[in-house]
Amino acid sequence: MMSTATASLIEIAAEWRSARRLYSFYSTLIREFQLEVPHCKELENPVDRAEREVLDKVHKWFSQVDRQVQVAQMRQLLQSDRFGEEQLLRALLLRHLPQQQRDEALRDKLDYLLVQYFAAVAPHHPHDSQVTSSEVAQALGPVLGAVIPREFLWMKQFDEIANSVDRCSTLSELLDSGLVELGRNKKKALGAQYFSPEALVQITRFNFRLRLGFFRLMHSDLQAIRTAIQQLESAGVSSVDCREAGLGSEEPLATLRTLCHQWKKPFREAYRAGQSFRQLGQIRNILTKKVQTIASAKNGPTALPFQAGPPEFAVMAPDAAPTESHAEATLEKVVDTISEQLFASKQKSTVSTVIVGHAKEVLASWEVKAFVQAGDPTCRAIQRAVAARCLVADAAALAKEGNKSGLLEALDCAHHQAAAIQEQVAKAKERGDIDAAVSLAATAKRLLAVIDATEKSK
């Protein structure tokens, strides 16, 4: 039988492990946002101390940082390549859930951390907004413990808000609807009940549906902006008046295209602020009106503002020399296109089919998950390998029709991504992440198979 002293030492050792896992994140918060908190000498010392008073100092230091950190700052780091692992999210939740000062700041942090953790570990299809309370409870078990889902009277109000979000067609419509603020007020009205495990399960389910709504609408706006930019450039337009969106009176279309790439990155501010989202909607409206004005002047008021048909990816002008910047831009464009199709999909299956140019490609469940979660190097490597696979498939389809101009460039890109993903496989094995290594290797194998089949058919 284990003695009390031995049990105490084991508990202290576990606390040190958790504290050291959190320290890298907390020290980065201090450095990145210039918080007025000195770094923790006890955690910078590599020796674990057995004295309880030393650990008490460590816990007080964490609390000092917690009081100064905002949820938007946590979000910025957690959605970077350096952080965002499930272990860190779990450690942060286990630190915040027991806190006694249960104020609005803690509620905002739990709101974000719980939905981020659920999205990272949930076994269901990542686009399925009909996730059940039981699924959420099971996924949150490591941080909330065993929770039997409970039906609350206020759940109907949250479901009505989420259903209204699903009916929105643009970010501007969502932001102007007041639904996000209504949801915040409903959560605030729960008071102390919000922090019960049973309520947190239902709140996380609601937040997950809201999160999916933001992603869907953001990708819809980005797609509309990119399509409008292409059409304006084809019409000889190089700049537009974007003062309504807080930009220049002659904003170059090239700058707006760059902004699209920045917007697709993880959100860097609180949802309730919404300024970046609102600006995105404003730019969409400006460009759409400009396209419609040109179309009406040229073809009459009945002209359609947007072109139909699949976008072209693999074809370059016959005399164009492939460059690294062009290859990168094309690859990122395909990544965006796949993401948009997945977020717009209502399929329940974890396996999804996407259309890239003239080709259809089936994505495996782990590949779909990589596009949804994004952020870490494993997801990025899988995304880019899948995009390269789609490029080759598109170029091969065009080659069968007699247009072989883009085939070599697509294969060169695919070979480069095959080497890059193998590097990530090795890194995953080194850090002992077997699941990531298996997923990466499987996607690499699928990419190599497409390369091999295409090269044999040339």
Beta pairing class for 251-252 and 352-356? unpaired
CB-based contact 137:201 (threshold 8 Å): yes
Q: Using one digit for the tens of pLDDT, what is the confidence trace for 320-369?
A: 333 445 667 788 888 888 887 887 765 445 788 888 888 889 998 888 88
Cα four-point dihedral sign 114, 116, 117, 122 = positive
Q: Which residues pair with 353 in a beta bridge?
A: 362
Which of 70-84, 293-307, 372-386, 406-420 is modeled with the greatest confidence? 406-420
**Mean pLDDT to the nearest integer, 429-440:** 84
The residue ranges of every structural domain in the chain are 326-458
DSSP H or E run through 360? strand 359-363
- What does the buried/exposed string (b/e) look like for 388-415 if buried means 16 or more CB atoms within 10 Å of the residue's CB? bbbbbbbbbbbbeeeeebbbebbbebbb
**Mean pLDDT to the nearest integer, 428-444:** 85
Rg (CA), the chain: 25
If DSSP codes are grouped into helix, strand and coil, which group holds residue 364? coil
Question: What average pLDDT does the chain have?
Answer: 82
Q: Using one digit for the tens of pLDDT, what is the confidence trace for 278-299?
A: 888 889 999 999 998 888 877 6
Q: Using one digit for the tens of pLDDT, what is the confidence trace for 159-191?
A: 999 999 989 888 888 988 999 999 999 999 999
Q: Using one digit for the tens of pLDDT, what is the confidence trace for 225-248?
A: 888 898 898 888 999 999 988 888
**Mean pLDDT to the nearest integer, 312-317:** 39
Q: Using one digit for the tens of pLDDT, what is the confidence trace for 32-65?
A: 899 998 888 888 888 888 888 888 999 999 999 9
Q: Using one digit for the tens of pLDDT, what is the confidence trace for 424-434?
A: 888 888 888 88
| Amino acid letter for position 214 | F
CB-based contact 210:197 (threshold 8 Å): no
In degrees and rounded to multiples of 5, residue 251 shows phi and psi of -75, 120
| Amino acid letter for position 7 | A
Q: Would you tell me how many other CB atoms lie within 10 Å of the CB of residue 267?
A: 18
pLDDT band at 84 (very low <50, low <70, confident <90, very high): low
- pTM of the predicted protein model: 0.67
Altogether, the residues listed in the chain come to a count of 458
